[in-house]
Amino acid sequence: MNLWNLLRHITMKHFRLRKAQIFMAAAGICLGVTSIVSFGVVNKSILFSFEDSFNRVTGKAKLQITAAQSGFPESLLEKVQEIRGVEYAVPVIETDGMLVSGKERSIMILGVDVLVDTKIREYSLSGDSVDVPDPLLFLAKSDSILVTKTMADREGFIIDQKIQVQTVEGIKTLCIRGILNPEGPAKAMGGNLAIMDIYAAQMAFGKNGRIDRIDVSPRQGENLETVRQAILNVLPNGYMVDTPAGRTRQVEDMISRFQNDLNLVSYLAIFAGMYLIYNAVSISVVNRRREIGILRALGCLRRNIMLLFLGETLVISIIASSIGVGLGLLLANYLVGTFGKVISETYMRTSVSGIHITWLYPILGFASGIIASLMAALFPARASSLISPVSAIRSVPYTEESFFTARRLNLGGVFCLVLSGAIFAMYNFISDSHLTNMILLPIAQLMIAIGISLFIPAFLKWFVTIFNRFFSSMFGSAGRIAGLNLRKNLTRNAVAVSAVFFGIAVFVASAGYTHSVKESVLKWLDSMIIGDIVISSGHPGSSANAHSIPMPVDLSQQLKKVPGVLSVEPWRRVFLQYKGRRVLVSAASLARYSKYSSADTKQVVKNNKIRLLPDKDNVVVSEPFAAIFKVKKGDQITLPTPAGPVVFSVAGIVVDYTSDSGVIAMDINTYQRHWGDMLCNSFFLLVKPGAKVNDVRDEIQRQFGSDRKLYVLSALEFKNEIRKIMDDIFIFNYALNVITLTIACLGIIVALLASVLERTREIGTLRAIGMLRRQIYGVVVLESILMGLAGGILGSLAGMFAGWVNLEGFFIPNYGSAARYYLPFSAILWALFLSAGLSALAGMIPAQKAAKTNIVEALSYD
Amino acid sequence: MIQVLNVSKTYHHGQQEIYALNDISLKIEKSDFLSIMGPSGSGKSTLLNLIGGLDQPSNGQIFIDGQPIHGISDDQLTLIRRKRVGFIFQFFNLLPILNAVENVSLPLLLDGVPFSRIREKAIHLLESVGLGSRTEHRPEQLSGGEMQRVAIARALITDPAVILADEPTGNLDSHISEEILGLLKNLNQTGQTIVLVTHDSKAASFGKRIIRLKDGSITEDISLSESRA
Ligand SMILES: Nc1ncnc2c1ncn2[C@@H]1O[C@H](COP(=O)(O)OP(=O)(O)O)[C@@H](O)[C@H]1O
Ligand SMILES: [Mg+2]
């Protein structure tokens, strides 16, 4: 009850007086909650859309049998059908096609056995189609296709219309024999789906005699797991038998890098928000020292003082978190499209139609916001309760001996840095455990930040000394007084500096991490000599994604005949399941044409020339693959092929960023021998000396362009396309930078605003002894800039250090890629510029107020 | 009713020990008006703070109505300050964010009494110190003398056993000071126990008894009650 009185009569008045500060402290937490909620909801929505699509496409089937993207022999179907417990097992071709007209939209093509498929999936045909006796039967004609109502409406398709679709065999003209109502499978993939007869689909997509999937519905009353085991028993190794939920989990696994990045953003945002709260409460405690003293003298219990500050924080955090939840949901709604697109382009086709709200993330975000705020407020709130009333209510307080002497601070700083060094050294030995990395490394990073922050008073002292000696005279008397003031109030100023410090450190760390990963990939890309011309039939950037429509390898024979072409190299990229994860097989004529690869790969290939010959079963793997599956050079790995498992030796480990989850590179001949797949995703061409690249490119387009949709790009154009895609992939990291920068800015403003407001009395004294308004203004702004700059410099330093640890600790153990650390120069410049500039701004308003200070009022009590 | 027995208070300045109070014993009767005099730094405030439970003695014992206030927990001490002691300070120590009535009500608000039930009494007290027309003013809108009146009203709201005033006129001019001291004297005449710290002998003469402090020890203890009565 008496706490209630305090909150009602004191807190509410403070809130009214300190709107700006409270707003900014709350904004930090609000931002954290927003990111937890929005990223969580977006993530869930994307996974939900996958699961929904899986469920719809699977229909009544409870299990799906899949293998590599290249498909598997039809003959397996009978084996599965014979299993007791299996009621229906139907073959499916699931592949990508592209509408050649209109926006060249990529669609999913489902090839099904029209006679049995209705046992599994229910197709409902729209009114226009019903006069046809049995439209499904029409599918037996090889040019028949069913499209969804959604697609028909969008593209303006009608029954019996002929449409052009890009297939493996080139552009094919198909006839729309029916339009599917938006129900069941027709609603999957946001309606971007068409259905063909399985035989026609096999022909059109180069899968003669092969299928992509078998959908199985078990007999009534059969145990799903028993049936699953029975199926696994009749299949060779490397096949997956999964429920739609299981497939969703695989997707979750696949996009885990995204999730990790998102989580990192959220944690950082919350952490930074905590720092803002910590700072705001600390400042508030310092400012209200006298008030606390009076309350204590009048009989307010210690714990009530503490509860007062916690209560204030609680009120702020409830409001901030509620707003954060609301903003998070709004943001999720806005982001889900973009994120869905990125996932779709980089990992696997999906079409997210909207957000799918579960209560988990709003509640999690709300609770995190409140708990984080209270935790952040705990330390300063406790400090507030220890303020002695006697000292606080005197006009000039006695200096209470601080535990934190300069010597102890420096020792503590050294200790933290040594500790982080030790953790870092240690982690090289226990790098086996993923979990240890995830826990130890954040601690190491935090230790770096805290360690360096403990040096802030010492650094500030040194910084100010330098300023006084060399620069202060440049600013006249304002410069000298600013210098003296800074020195005089080292401890208090150190608090403001540390706010700037943490904000800038987090910003520079995250910018450095992003910059390094991107720069490494770009360097790698640049070092790749991919020939003069790249030809693909899907989107040119589809190096590892879903929207690639392969071409027959034979096309290379025709391409070679084009005048000016020196050589043609096919490249096949196909995903397969290895130990439960999706990995990329990248097949080209490694041994002969190592020049088509990065400098590093070339070296590895050269060193292992003999072993990588087309007739040897050897592969090279990418660093992420080696890291994830703990594979060393010389190890053997067993890969599933349509004909059963085959053992390959690892001839080397290379840098390859094509896929997060790992790349296995082998000679294309080796690939074709084992997988019997005569397709490829792109051709790399070299042009004869003297021939013009652009002429050759145009000639190819002229000769082949009418048969199939081809993307013929010069090497430079191709690399630029990849860069564009990378920008999409890095969207989260940019979001991270924006968030950390925003928080850094808030921190700077909160701290400096408070530090100036606190000094009304001191400024009154300066005015009384004859300082001009203009000079006061100058002093305050200059002090702000100096503090901002000190924090900015030290923060950049800590940020570079922490960013390096982040890369070595987070990126490399998780993804295994040999990304090098690149200093984020532009980010550091920004950091310094912003820390000085924003500090100046933050100082200006209070400086104005200070300049106008009424001397008499300022010098009187309080 | 207040008993101070062999009380010492030491402060540490680095290695150096400062005796702010050195083995002081003192007894203050109910309805007394005690003035404590002495030069600056002689330990007056320290003594007053010990009596009021703002601080704990390094040695010795202090009792209010026989109840010890040394060696008790901080919470117990705080409750004694809240319920039994009224403070008046040289620098007023009003909360700038609260207006006059709210400042006066503060001790009872701390006790958990709803403002609606305190308001009337607070206004009544403000009227009794001559501030009936200033109830909604905030400290910055009041003069020094007015602020000290608010502080007196605040000290009275809990009907404390003793009022402790630490140089309450130190910041006021002599004419206003007399008014404030007159207020205290009137209070004392209704039976209120008062301890007044001052370095001004004119102010001290408002009391019934004067003790002098020097370097933390009592050097003089005179009773004025007969001569003034
Ligand atoms: N919190 C404190 N810390 C250190 N020294 C103190 C403290 N409070 C009082 N003193 C010292 O104790 C002595 C007595 O102080 P005080 O009681 O305030 O004197 P007075 O009120 O008579 O002017 C002084 O020397 C003063 O410096
Ligand atoms: Mg004093």
Q: Over the stretch A505-529, which tens digit does the pLDDT of each residue have?
A: 878 888 887 888 788 878 877 777 6
The residue behind tokens 């500090």 is: A839
Mean pLDDT for the stretch of residues B84-113? 91
> Whose CA is closest to A288, among A548, A101, A565, A11?
A11
pLDDT tens digits, A73-85: 888 888 888 888 8
Most confidently modeled range among A178-182, A561-565, A657-661: A561-565
Instruction: Work out the pLDDT band at B227, boundaries 50, 70, 90.
Output: very low
Whether residue A591 has pLDDT greater than 60: no
User: A-chain residues within 8 Å CB-CB of B118?
Assistant: none
As a whole number of Å, the CA-based R_g of chain B is: 17
Is the dihedral angle over the CA atoms A766, A767, A769, A774 positive or is it negative? positive
Name which residue leads in pLDDT, A127 or A716: A716
Domain encompassing residue B20: 2-91+155-228
Which ligand 1 atom is the nearest neighbour of the CA of B44? Answer: 22
Q: How far is A17 from chain B (nearest CA, A)?
A: 9
pLDDT tens digits, A249-272: 777 776 776 677 677 667 777 877
We report the CATH number of the domain holding residue B62 as: 3.40.50.300
Domain presence at residue B111 = no
Inform me whether the C-beta atom of residue B1 falls under 8 Å from chain A C-beta atoms: no
Mean pLDDT for the stretch of residues A527-534? 76
The predicted pLDDT at position A294 comes to 92
> Whose CA is closest to A339, among A544, A736, A44, A46?
A46
Domain presence at residue B112 = no
The predicted pLDDT at position A681 comes to 86
Mean pLDDT for the stretch of residues A120-142? 68
The predicted pLDDT at position A27 comes to 85
The residue behind tokens 């000696």 is: A469
Most confidently modeled range among A23-27, A691-695, A845-849: A691-695
Q: Measured between alpha carbons, how far is A628 from A650 in angstroms, rounded to an integer?
A: 15
Please tell me the residue having the least CA distance from ligand 1 atom 18: B45
Name which residue leads in pLDDT, A606 or A142: A142
> Whose CA is closest to A482, among A133, A783, A746?
A783
Q: Measured between alpha carbons, how far is A800 from A549 in angstroms, rounded to an integer?
A: 43
Q: Measured between alpha carbons, how far is A150 from A183 in angstroms, rounded to an integer?
A: 11
Whether residue A102 contacts residue A155, with contact meaning beta carbons closer than 8 Å, is answered with yes
Whether residue B48 has pLDDT greater than 90: yes
Are the Cβ atoms of A301 and B91 closer than 8 angstroms? no
Residues 48-77 of B with CB under 8 A from A: 49, 52, 54-55, 74-75
What residue type is A573 in one-letter code? R
Name which residue leads in pLDDT, A570 or A437: A570
Mean pLDDT score across all residues of chain A: 80
pLDDT tens digits, B166-222: 999 888 888 889 999 999 999 999 999 999 999 888 899 999 999 999 999 999 999
The predicted pLDDT at position B228 comes to 45
User: B-chain residues within 8 Å CB-CB of A295?
Assistant: 95, 106, 110
Instruction: Work out the pLDDT band at A544, boundaries 50, 70, 90.
Output: very low
> Whose CA is closest to A540, among A549, A553, A531?
A549
Strand ranges inside chain B, DSSP E: 2-13, 16-28, 33-37, 59-64, 67-68, 85-88, 162-166, 193-197, 209-214, 217-223
Domains identified in chain B, total number:
1
Mean pLDDT for the stretch of residues A381-395? 81
The residue behind tokens 């969008």 is: A154
Whether residue A264 contacts residue A59, with contact meaning beta carbons closer than 8 Å, is answered with no
> Whose CA is closest to A535, among A699, A668, A684?
A684
Inform me whether the C-beta atom of residue B78 falls under 8 Å from chain A C-beta atoms: yes
The predicted pLDDT at position A861 comes to 45
Whether residue A767 has pLDDT greater than 80: no
Q: Which ligand is nearest to the CA of B47?
A: 1
Measured between alpha carbons, how far is residue A515 from residues A520, A738, A807 in Å? 8, 14, 10
Hey, is A688 helix, strand or coil? coil
Q: Measured between alpha carbons, how far is A2 from B82 in angstroms, rounded to an integer?
A: 12
Q: Measured between alpha carbons, how far is B111 from B145 in angstroms, rounded to an integer?
A: 27
Name which residue leads in pLDDT, A644 or B191: B191
Whether residue A218 has pLDDT greater than 80: yes
What residue type is B69 in one-letter code? I
Mean pLDDT for the stretch of residues A745-754? 70
Q: How far, in Å, is the centroid of ligand 1 from the Cα of A3?
A: 33
Whether residue B85 has pLDDT greater than 90: yes
Domain presence at residue B162 = yes
Whether residue A545 has pLDDT greater than 60: no
Is the dihedral angle over the CA atoms A393, A399, A401, A405 positive or is it negative? positive
The predicted pLDDT at position A598 comes to 58
Instruction: Work out the pLDDT band at B103, boundaries 50, 70, 90.
Output: very high
pLDDT tens digits, A160-171: 888 988 888 888
Q: Any idea where the domains of chain A sit in the sequence?
A: 1-6+26-39+267-396, 63-242, 453-529+722-862, 538-709
Which helix (DSSP H) or strand (DSSP E) does residue A162 occupy?
strand A162-167
Instruction: Work out the pLDDT band at A543, boundaries 50, 70, 90.
Output: very low
- Contact partners, residue B86, CB within 8 Å, separation at least 6: B154, B155, B156, B158, B160, B162, B163, B164
Q: Is the CB of B81 under 6 A from ligand 1?
A: no
- Please give the residue of chain B at the shortest CA–CA distance from A5: B109
Instruction: Work out the pLDDT band at B86, boundaries 50, 70, 90.
Output: very high
In testing the pocket of ligand 1, which one of B7, B11, B196, B211 has its CB within 8 Å of the most ligand atoms?
B11
pLDDT tens digits, B114-154: 999 999 999 999 999 999 999 999 998 999 899 999 999 99
Instruction: Work out the pLDDT band at B7, boundaries 50, 70, 90.
Output: very high
Which ligand 1 atom is the nearest neighbour of the CA of B216? Answer: 14
Q: How far, in Å, is the centroid of ligand 1 from the Cα of B198?
A: 15
Are the Cβ atoms of B82 and A298 closer than 8 angstroms? yes
Q: How far, in Å, is the centroid of ligand 1 from the Cα of B43?
A: 6
Instruction: Work out the pLDDT band at A624, boundaries 50, 70, 90.
Output: confident
Domain presence at residue B11 = yes
- Structure-block tokens of residue B48: 């007053």
Q: How far is A34 from chain B (nearest CA, A)?
A: 34
Domain presence at residue B103 = no
Instruction: Work out the pLDDT band at A619, boundaries 50, 70, 90.
Output: confident
Domain presence at residue B119 = no
Q: How far is A790 from chain B (nearest CA, A)?
A: 31
Q: How far, in Å, is the centroid of ligand 2 from the Cα of B90?
A: 9
Q: Measured between alpha carbons, how far is A144 from B97 in angstroms, rounded to an integer?
A: 81
Q: Measured between alpha carbons, how far is A738 from A734 in angstroms, rounded to an integer?
A: 6
Task: Measure CA of the first residue to CA of the last residue in chain B; give whole Å.
Answer: 22
Most confidently modeled range among A183-192, A194-203, A414-423, A434-443: A194-203
As a whole number of Å, the CA-based R_g of chain A is: 33
pLDDT tens digits, A392-446: 777 665 555 555 667 777 888 888 888 888 877 776 665 554 555 556 766 777 7
* Strand order, beta sheet including B2-13: B16-28, B2-13, B59-64, B67-68
For chains A and B, CB pairs below 8 A equal 87
Whether residue A453 contacts residue A502, with contact meaning beta carbons closer than 8 Å, is answered with yes
Among A753-767, A814-828, B10-24, which stretch is predicted with the lowest mean pLDDT?
A753-767
- Please give the residue of chain B at the shortest CA–CA distance from A14: B97
Whether residue B6 has pLDDT greater than 80: yes
Mean pLDDT for the stretch of residues A748-777? 72
The predicted pLDDT at position A395 comes to 62
Q: How far, in Å, is the centroid of ligand 2 from the Cα of B47?
A: 9
Instruction: Work out the pLDDT band at A387, boundaries 50, 70, 90.
Output: confident
Whether residue A606 has pLDDT greater than 80: no
Q: Is the CB of B41 under 6 A from ligand 1?
A: yes
User: A-chain residues within 8 Å CB-CB of B74?
Assistant: 302
Whether residue A532 contacts residue A715, with contact meaning beta carbons closer than 8 Å, is answered with yes
